Structure 1
């Protein structure tokens, strides 16, 4: 299959527009993106995701270096008798001395000729194309952030379908740099049991305990949130249905409220690709993605051998938890649900 005449004209016009935007001779060969334009491209990717808009996406110059987001590690207000000692200002940076590290990251998007042909008749062809590319890159960033465990020289999407081998994500960084901030097990080794006679009677109790793992100086900051996986939310919703389902008005109330808005006293959210049984307590501004602003490269290519167009993007990128004491999580793979053992009430009109 080949591109139709109309689609090829639209695609060539897109390539020419990209070249003009980035002030290069042609987009049909790989080109470097200037730092200011790299920031613009990054902003477009960020705007395609509500979650990425809440966290920090930070351009940096070096492949390795100190974290750059400022945040108090404790109170900065006090008093010093200057007759006896010098005033000592508080350092705003995380004092653990750990550096960020960026890795070569390739986001290469292919769109079949059939898709380009279908889009060619729309006047917003360029916007449709850009949205598809940017959204794909945004979702991959989120997936790596929650599932990444290492940065392999040659990634394997079959063995690691959640992009675990592309980069070290936020949870993995905390596993390595502050393992005490990860809840691994309860009373049963290797298990975190929820419900029945387990470690936690419900999700609310679990989130509350995880929040207590946050360093005390951050607990009252007012910006902590609980990120919760969909399986935990579904389990909690199912328990509410079991308790209230016999009363239609109560079931409707549960639906309208989307279970409840808070767990463990914290506003609760979920996001794309979050571990289904995971819980993370942190603030959105404690999560960062750093990218090297001089490293972004791009190449738009028509590939008739595969009947598709290809959009190659590469840059050096890494993940950062700005303040480790402001992040607490559980090992999602260790979570299991324990059924409630209380006998069910008999239906009306039937004696127990």
Structure 2
């Protein structure tokens, strides 16, 4: 299929608008994104996926360095004889490292033709822009929750969740603070009756309480910003049990809402979060850094692949501010069902 005349006209307008916005003569040739447009691109990515606004997205100057503490954990009040009280945060040894990160969001010619005929030229440009920024934004979370390594040559077929693109938050904690991640077998058994076996839990509330009380130190445990990130497999198992037991409309509503608060903590199931993982943490504790001045873009029609490609290159990486404020059960340790007989 070839591009239709109206699609070609819309793409010309899209390219022209993009060139004006980035103050570059030709967006089909790679160009640096600097100054105000760097800030604007970052804002567009944040706006495209709401969850990114809840974590710490930050530009840094160096490829390697100390994790940038957001400075909002632990006690900040006290006194000192003969002077003023201060309480510093010990981040010594907690470092980050950024790696080359290359994204490409494409739209095939057939879709371009549909978009061009579906609305105005302005609507077409909006669809194109949102497609690129949302793809870039979702990949930040995809890699952040699933990344385990940074391969020289990544394989998206073998690693569809970006496991080889970069080391994400969970992997960093497993390597740098392994005691914060439970790896012994846990059994979530909503159908349990009678006495529970060792490692067996009937409710997610009980599991969250165990993680919070066992892995989260006292200085973070009652922080009102503490939340639970819970996989969809776990919430589905809990909701199925509640829905099967519910025989009143009000009880069914309660069952549908149960994943909003678990164990007294606000609950989230972020995009691409592993289905059987459970994490108790502060959302600003999860950091994603981009090296300032490294962003570059390119937007072009690639005839050999019959598609329009929007490309975004930069140095990027992940960090966890306070390792002790991250307590988790690894998905490999979580089982849905009864614990085996002793």
**TM beyond 0.5:** yes
**Deviations along 1:41-93, whole A, 9 cap, x unmatched?**
111011011111211110111111122232245323222222xxx556221x4
Superposed counterparts of 1:210-289, under 5 Å: 210-212=211-213, 213-244=215-246, 247-249=247-249, 251-255=251-255, 257-259=256-258, 261-289=260-288
Instruction: Find the counterpart in structure 2 of residue 119 from structure 1.
Output: 115
For 1:164, the equivalent position in structure 2 comes to: 163
User: Contact 1:94–1:323 (CA<8 Å) still a contact in 2?
Assistant: no
Secondary structure at 1:259 match in 2: helix
Q: Which secondary structure state, in structure 2, belongs to the residue aligned with residue 291 of structure 1? A: strand
How many pairs align? 329
CA distance in 2, matches of 1:94, 1:35: 33
Aligned counterpart, 1:7? 7
Once residues 33 and 126 of structure 1 are traced to their aligned partners in structure 2, the CA distance between those partners, rounded to angstroms, is 19
Runs of 4+ residues over 4 Å off in structure 1: none
User: What is the aligned partner in structure 2 of residue 130 from structure 1?
Assistant: 129
Alpha-carbon distance in structure 2 between the residues aligned to 1:275 and 1:309:
31
Cα distance in 1, alignment partners of residues 174 and 71 from structure 2: 21
What's the C-alpha RMSD, in Å, of the aligned pairs? 1.9
Residues 194, 167 of structure 1: CA spacing in aligned structure 2 closer, same or farther, 3 A cutoff? same
Aligned match of 2:91 in 78, 95, 101?
Answer: 95
Contact 2:277 2:328 in 1 (8 A): yes
Unaligned runs of 5+ in 2: none
Change (3 A) 1:10 1:64: same
The verdict on how the C-alpha distance between 1:163 and 1:119 changes in structure 2, with shifts beyond 3 A counting, is: same
1:200-246 deviation digits (Å, cap 9, x = unpaired)? 222111111111211211112210011111111111112213333xx
Aligned to 2:56: 56
| TM-score using structure 1 length | 0.88
Give secondary structure in 2 for the equivalent of 1:166: coil
* Partner residue in 2 for 1:141: 140
Structure 1 unaligned segments of length 5 or more: list them.
186-190, 342-352
Check conservation: 2:180, 2:327, Cα contact below 8 A.
yes
- Which position in structure 2 is the counterpart of 1:322? 321
Asked if 1:33 corresponds to 2:33, the answer is yes
* TM-score normalised by structure 2 residue count: 0.91
Rounded Cα–Cα distance in structure 2 between residues aligned with 1:5 and 1:71:
55
After superposing the two structures, state which structure 1 stretch, 329-338 or 72-81, moved more: 72-81
Match of 1:69 in 2: 69
2:289 alignment partner in structure 1: 290
- Choose 1 or 2 for highest CA Rg: 1
- The alignment partner of 2:93 has SS state of coil
| 2:23 is aligned with 1:23 | yes
Structure 2 distance, partners of 1:67, 1:276, is 28
Aligned-pair CA distance for 1:135: 1.0
Kept after mapping to 2: 8 A contact 1:2/1:304: no
Aligned-partner Cα distance in 2 for 1:211–1:32:
44
Return the offset for 1:192. 1.3
Give the match's secondary structure for 2:279: strand
Shift of 1:96: 3.8
Cα pair 1:214 1:327 within 8 Å, conserved: yes
Q: Is the 1:39–1:293 contact (alpha carbons within 8 Å) kept by the matching residues of 2?
A: no
Q: How much does 1:330 deviate?
A: 0.8
CA contact (8 A) 2:77 2:85 kept: no
Contact 1:73 / 1:94 at 8 angstroms: preserved in 2? no
